[in-house]
Amino acid sequence: MGWLHLGASWRYVLLLGAYLLYLLLGAGVFSALEAPPERALLAHLREAYLHLLSQHRECLSEEQLAPLVEQLLEAGGFGVSGLGNVSGDPNWDFTSALFFTASVLTTTGYGHTVPLSAWGKIFCILYSLLGIPFTLLFLAVLLRYLLPVVSDRPVQCVHRRWGLPVAHVALAHAMALGALTAGLFVLVPAVCFWALEGGWTFLESVYFCFISLSTIGLGDFVPRGSAQWPWHELYELSITVYLLVGLLAVLVALETAHRLQEVRALVRFFAPDSGSSFPEDDDRREILSRDQLALSTVSGST
């Protein structure tokens, strides 16, 4: 049996090598695509900076301007704009704070707003220590109740009514669910953000939706709307609800895909469970025995 363990070890090495190559590929592509625009932007800023100094050389020196620029950049890092022509929308009214809280608990963390006070930072640490595990527990419980309704029952209904193979129905269902999730929680909200945010392109709106629901949360695009809107707080509240509901929908779609025969076979190829020293408990064994999407059941039915 030694050759089996050796084969499994080589599969782990293969998976690790493929992942490292994927990381290197991503770094290379991003570097090639983003380095030229970055250099162009820095050159443009430097040119504007020198042009401003040249126009006001008599009353303004670089030593006087540099501290102000540094303070503006530091304020921007905390999500506070120092420009005089902005709307003045506060970062810490209740609905904005609620959006910040949701981004923290879902680990999206846009970074556009951060605690300014020492006590705010301390509370954020303590709040997240309890809140993130509680969020994971909450999502796990919701998935436990949603998956039979969204995934199992439709597949079993089609299988019993038309007699189609469970594996084929499950694959089609997972693809349809993924397309529906992308349409309802990426494309449709992207159209809304495109219309409401003004300066966003449609691509940037799609980009924001994907970055948010994947919990990457880069923070380069964050919906603000306008503080002058009479329904501005409702808009911020709806974005918070969208983030939570959309994340749950993505988790349902991913878990549905994870239960496919093809995905389980791929996982078992890299992590064979033969010889495992951790037997499943009775509840888990019972769940697997009823799971019509499990690999063993599908193999038996075909």
- Give pLDDT tens digits for 34-83: 899 888 988 887 887 777 777 777 676 666 666 766 666 665 555 555 55
Tell me what percent of the residues of the chain surpass a pLDDT of 70.
75
Residues near 30 by beta carbon (within 8 Å), at least 6 away in sequence: none
Residue with tokens 């800023």: 45
Distance separating alpha carbons of residues 113 and 96, to the nearest angstrom: 9
| Segments making up each domain of the chain, as ranges | 93-301
Q: How many CB atoms lie within 10 A of CB 247?
A: 21
Q: What is the pLDDT of residues 137-166, one digit of tens each?
A: 999 999 999 999 998 999 999 989 998 999
First-residue to last-residue Cα distance in the chain: 29
Is 240 within 8 Å of 97 (Cβ atoms)?
no
Is 133 within 8 Å of 106 (Cβ atoms)?
no
Query: Residue 179 is which amino acid?
Result: A
Considering only CA atoms, which of 179, 184, 186, 173 is closest in space to residue 256?
A: 173
Residues near 58 by beta carbon (within 8 Å), at least 6 away in sequence: none
Distance separating alpha carbons of residues 1 and 214, to the nearest angstrom: 41
Residue with tokens 């994870």: 258
Q: What is the pLDDT of residues 187-222, one digit of tens each?
A: 999 999 999 998 899 999 999 999 999 999 878 888
Tokens for 142, please give them: 């919701």
Is 93-301 a CATH 1.10.287.70 domain?
A: yes
Residue 292 gets which letter from DSSP?
Answer: T
Please check the confidence at residue 94 and state whether its pLDDT lies above 90: no
Tokens for 153, please give them: 């029952």
- Measured CA to CA in angstroms, residue 224 lies from 59, 89, 207, 235 at distances of 37, 8, 16, 9
pLDDT score at 63: 66
